[in-house]
Structure 1
Amino acid sequence: MSLADKVLAVNNDLPIRTDKPVHSGKVRSVYWLTEADSRRLIQEKGYPVAPDAPLAVMVISDRISAFDCIWTGEGNLRGVPGKGAALNAIANHWFKLFKEQGLADSHILDIPHPAVWIVQKARPVMIEAIARQYITGSMWRAYSKGEREFCGIQLPDGLSKDQKLPELLITPSTKGILKGIPGVPEADDVNITRKNIEDNFAAFNFRSAGDIDRYEQLLKEGFDVISAELEKLDQVFVDTKFEFGYVTDAEGNEKLIYMDEVGTPDSSRIWDGAQYRNGEVVENSKEGFRQALLNHFPDPDILLNKDRMDEREALARDNELPESMLMDVSATYVGIAEKIIGEKLVISDNPKAEIVQVLRDAYGLID
């Protein structure tokens, strides 16, 4: 079996029974189950949700995106072997810890296969909440040019690159294009302040102004839980993205939960602790792949400059990366996953066939 066969690159063509269009993101595809299948599974599996809660099957691919483009490799390598399984295993691990430590639930109800989650429909809060413990990346680039205010937060002078910040910062941005909010540009992923959120909490899908405090509390507590666990592995939790939403539980109560994924190499920066103490940054996250791309192409401005998006898309479409670049990412993701979960990661030889079999035999979702 070739390396390319082990990669789950296309994940929106599975024969899962659904009466709605399949929603495909950069990495995951979502299959909304029929009302009958949702009700049946809630009853059969005893999921702790309202009997009429809409459920979905979420299938993660091994595709790799960076700089808003999907990248491929030589030899028909359409993704990174083991990447999807690594991301799911890490997120599952953190979500379980959050629940055990009394923080909040997630949208995940069941894990039929390492690449699959069964989730309940959540009403998303329209914020990508970034928590930062160190100054690096886009924040450092802006700071080094003289900017001192980020999302309404003032930073002191005299900080140096990759330094630990005086406190954990929450720097939110919009999730999707939000219209009609005073002072907030109608564009995806623009930075916003806490005051923007307070003044327009309903527009960001918060139920109440008090839930802004709740989301910040869950974000800080979640960050601290992951940071403390990574510290035991001598890994530095640098920054991460959290997403939140509302669900209704079996008793009919609406509650704020964690959704999407948490603490993964796709949504976070994780540095090797020993190397960091030596004054060197070694990435155990997607940031390493971003740096490799910047070094690989002669004009890195194409990847950094949003005004050159057409050229960037052409670069991703027309260039197959060396196999070694994608295998480096595989080693990083699988390596950090195995550290975090404390066991060997199971990587399928033929993920698509396995997923079809388990969803047919154990869940009755494939005819």
Structure 2
Amino acid sequence: MSNKTITDTNYNFPGQTAVYKGKVREVYSLENNQLIMVATDRLSAFDVVMPKGIPYKGQILNQIATKMMRDTQDIVPNWLEATPDPNVAVGKKCDPFKVEMVIRGYMSGHAAREYKAGKRILCGVELPEGLKENDKFPTPIITPATKAEMGDHDEDISKENIIKRGIVSVEDYAILEDYTQKLFQRGTEIAQARGLILVDTKYEFGKTADGEIVLIDEIHTPDSSRYFYADGYSERQQNGEAQKQLSKEFVRQWLIGNGFQGLEGQKLPVMTDEYIETVSERYIELFENITGEKFVKADLSNIDKRIEDNVLAYLNN
């Protein structure tokens, strides 16, 4: 199955000026302030990229992000202009802010791990006493992280430190905060309509050449967000049971169960083809639940060429 994935690209598009390879996406800069973002099938967990790709993962993330950008563009402007291929998004080149705006409606994941360790302040935000894992916060909290270079860990940071260190200006931060809250509210409503709870997510923003702050990167995907199934949420909380999740947390849990948390000296467990197949199926399930649409599998016979042909056709038009 591994030949049916795209884990690395090496294109040379007309007018290309630079290539940036992130954890799971590769970004080609063109000279007219345009970006071509290719969503690969690479899988990253604990800031480590897994050795094998997951069939359809790039397509799934790209198509969810595209749909969510379109469903939120009336409240927050974004970078996206077109999606000429299932794995590709084309849009305005932006200067990205060096912070990820993480927003949490529930005490889950990283927040829960910190809380369990006894911390009551997360990124400068005070957490109420007496919370259980996966409880809802009284109001959503913003817990930013500094954006790491490939291979490094993102780090928690407070709003005060972001401004003090000059990472983002006071004026710009106010806009980032406002946009983050609006997007989370809309994301929550979209999730509700699908019988889901948007637990937490992250947004990234950048400035266009003419100084407009826009949403960039992906949005409301299972890689950048955590979802619970709404049905049975309260009962599970009352009984102290784990919540039924829709996110890539299942991959993290599998890695933890196999002795890996991205820490020094830990060996990456082997993902068999059978396991990779189940991860691919889970991603398809995520797509259908999050979007409410049937997933249409793209042609995998020659993904590399398919992407190149589609992008060139778009650029030539």
Q: Output one character per residue of 1:90-134: Cα deviation in whole Å (capped at 9) or x when no partner.
A: 1111111111xx322211111100101112111111111110111
Q: Distance in 1 between matches of 2:159 and 2:314?
A: 45
Letter in 2 for 1:303: Q
Alpha carbons of structure 1 residues 205 and 213: separation in structure 2 relative to 1, 3 Å: closer
Aligned ranges for residues 60-209 of structure 1 at < 5 Å?
60-72=39-51, 78-99=52-73, 102-176=74-148, 189-200=154-165, 203-206=166-169, 209=170
Is 1:136–1:161's contact at 8 Å kept on the other side of the alignment? yes
Q: Distance in 1 between matches of 2:133 and 2:247?
A: 18
Q: Output one character per residue of 1:68-104: Cα deviation in whole Å (capped at 9) or x when no partner.
A: 22224xxxxx3111111111111111111111xx322
Give me the identity figure in percent: 30
Please say if 1:25 is aligned against 2:22.
Answer: yes
Aligned ranges for residues 1-367 of structure 1 at < 5 Å?
3-11=1-9, 13-17=10-14, 19-33=16-30, 35=31, 38=32, 54-72=33-51, 78-99=52-73, 102-176=74-148, 189-200=154-165, 203-206=166-169, 209-248=170-209, 252=210, 254-279=211-236, 280-295=242-257, 297=258, 300=259, 302-303=260-261, 305=263, 308=264, 311-312=265-266, 315-316=267-268, 319-348=269-298, 349=300, 350-364=302-316
Q: Distance in 1 between matches of 2:130 and 2:262?
A: 26
Q: Distance in 2 between matches of 1:275 and 1:88?
A: 30
Is 2:194–2:292's contact at 8 Å kept on the other side of the alignment? no
TM-score normalised to the size of structure 1? Answer: 0.78
Q: Output one character per residue of 1:246-274: Cα deviation in whole Å (capped at 9) or x when no partner.
A: 114xxx5x211111111110011111222
Q: Distance in 2 between matches of 1:235 and 1:60?
A: 25
TM-score normalised to the size of structure 2? Answer: 0.90
Aligned to 1:75: none
Find the residue that maps to 2:231 and give its secondary structure.
helix
Alpha carbons of structure 1 residues 158 and 304: separation in structure 2 relative to 1, 3 Å: farther
Superposed CA RMSD:
2.1
Which sections of structure 2, spanning at least 5 residues, go unmatched? 237-241
Find the residue that maps to 1:358 and give its secondary structure.
helix
The size of the alignment, in residue pairs, is 308
Is 1:71–1:320's contact at 8 Å kept on the other side of the alignment? no
Is 2:162–2:168's contact at 8 Å kept on the other side of the alignment? no
Q: Output one character per residue of 1:150-208: Cα deviation in whole Å (capped at 9) or x when no partner.
A: 1111112111111111110001121247xxxxxxxxx86222212223334xx2144xx
286-295 vs 266-275, greater mean Cα deviation: 266-275
Q: Which runs of 4+ in 1 moved over 4 A?
A: none
Q: Distance in 2 between matches of 1:236 and 1:326?
A: 26
Which sections of structure 1, spanning at least 5 residues, go unmatched? 39-53, 73-77, 178-186
